[in-house]
Amino acid sequence: MCAVIFVLMSKLRSGKPPRPRPGLGPAFFLVLFVSKPRRSPLLVNVRKTRVAFFDDVGAGGGEGQPSSSLPSPAQLRSRMSWILVAVTPPAWLLLANPQSSSTATMEQLAKMAGLAGKQELSHDICAEAPDDRFYALRAHSDMCEGVPSVIDKWMVGAGTIYKQHLPPTHKNIDVLTRRDEPVVLLTRDPRASTHALCERVLSEGTLTKDDKIAWAKPYRPYPALTQSEAAMRDWNEGWEEVARERRDQFLVITFEAMETDREGVLQTALRHWGIKQVHPFVDIHSRYVNASHSRCDAWDSAAVLLASDGHTAGKALLPENSA
């Protein structure tokens, strides 16, 4: 059996093999021409492809065209069957704790890899709200039970590095772990993340006098910083447990490690994804450094005192009414 593989970098023109069905949206095509006489199965690795199969084209036609050009319709009709494989470029998922410099991390990884970086925030990505453990983080539009088909796209097909904040709910864990594609998990110390959140909402004018976040969401009550810290901790612990159980799939990187060697950590993430670095590292993290407002420092100190007295943030997490 002979097979000739052609890579078409643009849409197929008239006189060439038919286009794939609408909706596949491939970046390029692989056309496999296989001689008819032998009927042994043709195995195609479709882990990261979507495949459109076409019926045999009738008999007849001639031979002798150069192998560097596409076959003519006559050649296609001559003892040849063919399969059009629409190949979509892979995607890579950066699963990140809020306030962990995740946006800067996504941007730097994308620049180093020469790829696009994106966070999807539309309502279409969510199937339902998460449980009350993550109520305090619902200012983030992707703090939800994700739509399985959307999560699949973040992992296997779009040519993009996606940064998302999905919480470790049972449904989200099931969707991510039913595949083997590598995931990078970014965490940060919950107290430091909440301190950064305090700095952010204070600068935006949405921190109330009693240290609650007056978010624009319709949900009430407003979450307190203490509740936010507990939700950050639950987020970390939930995904870290999954990462320990699936070490081959999940790589854990931390904000703290990047403070010591940001370039080295990002290079490790690219290797985990199997991506080649094509551009040098450029540090764009400086704009995310905290301004150290005295009010946030005071909250931090008070939280430390509460913890030292045995009153951990985990004891007062859930909102009174997550309406």
pLDDT in tens, 89-146: 567 899 999 989 899 999 999 999 999 898 888 778 999 999 899 999 998 888 999 9
Do 77 and 197 lie in one domain? The reply is no
pLDDT value of residue 218: 85
Do 27 and 123 lie in one domain? The reply is no
* pLDDT greater than 60 at residue 39: no
pLDDT value of residue 203: 85
Do 247 and 301 lie in one domain? The reply is yes
Do 168 and 81 lie in one domain? The reply is no
* pLDDT greater than 90 at residue 13: no
* Number of domains making up the chain: 2
Inter-CA distances, 243 with 144, 173, 202, Å: 20, 10, 33
Please write the tens of the pLDDT for every residue from 304-323. 555 544 434 443 334 444 33
Inter-CA distances, 125 with 40, 152, 161, Å: 42, 11, 16
Contact criterion met (CB below 8 Å) for 35 and 1: yes
pLDDT value of residue 286: 52
For residues 88-120, one letter each, b for 16 or more C-beta atoms within 10 angstroms of the residue's C-beta and e for the rest, the string is bebbbbbbbbbbbbbbbbbbbbbbbbebebbbb
Do 102 and 219 lie in one domain? The reply is yes
Q: Count other C-beta atoms under 10 Å from residue 67's C-beta.
A: 7
Residue 198 located in a structural domain: yes
pLDDT value of residue 16: 44
* Mean pLDDT, all residues of the chain: 73
Average pLDDT score over residue span 282-297: 65
Please write the tens of the pLDDT for every residue from 244-286. 999 999 999 999 999 999 999 999 999 999 999 999 998 765 5
Do 27 and 99 lie in one domain? The reply is no
pLDDT bracket for residue 1 (50, 70, 90): very low
Backbone phi, psi, residue 45, to 5°: -75, 110
CATH of the domain at 222: 3.40.50.300
Its domain, for residue 78, covers 1-16+23-37+46-58+72-88
Do 168 and 282 lie in one domain? The reply is yes
pLDDT value of residue 152: 87
How far apart CA 225 and CA 317 sit, in angstroms, is: 10
Residue 323 located in a structural domain: no
Residue 320 located in a structural domain: no
- Rg, the chain, Cα only: 26
What is the number of alpha carbons within 13 Å of residue 240 lying toward its C-beta?
13
Backbone phi, psi, residue 293, to 5°: -65, 140
Please write the tens of the pLDDT for every residue from 149-190. 898 888 876 688 999 999 999 999 999 999 889 999 999 999
Q: Which residue has the higher pLDDT, 150 or 40?
A: 150
Please write the tens of the pLDDT for every residue from 51-94. 333 344 444 444 444 444 566 666 555 554 444 444 445 678 99
pLDDT value of residue 77: 52
Please write the tens of the pLDDT for every residue from 19-37. 443 333 334 344 444 444 4
Do 264 and 124 lie in one domain? The reply is yes
Q: Count other C-beta atoms under 10 Å from residue 243's C-beta.
A: 19
Residue 67 located in a structural domain: no
pLDDT value of residue 146: 92
206's tokens: 């949405």
DSSP characters over 17-63? SPPPPTT---SEEEEEEEESS--PPPP---TTEEEEE-PPP-S----
Average pLDDT score over residue span 179-202: 92
Do 138 and 166 lie in one domain? The reply is yes
Do 104 and 191 lie in one domain? The reply is yes
pLDDT value of residue 221: 92
DSSP three-state, residue 150: helix
98's tokens: 């809020």
Residue 2 located in a structural domain: yes
Point out which residues pair with 160 in neighbouring strands: 116
Point out which residues pair with 93 in neighbouring strands: 162, 183
Do 97 and 51 lie in one domain? The reply is no
How far apart CA 27 and CA 159 sit, in angstroms, is: 9
How far apart CA 156 and CA 315 sit, in angstroms, is: 39
Residue 78 located in a structural domain: yes
Q: Tell me the pTM.
A: 0.68
Do 78 and 109 lie in one domain? The reply is no
Contact criterion met (CB below 8 Å) for 200 and 211: no
For the chain, the residue count is 323
Residue 135 located in a structural domain: yes
Residue 321 located in a structural domain: no
For CA atoms 157, 158, 160, 161, give the dihedral sign.
negative
pLDDT value of residue 222: 93
Element (H, E) at 256: helix 255-273
pLDDT value of residue 322: 39
18 closest CA partner among 56, 46, 54: 54
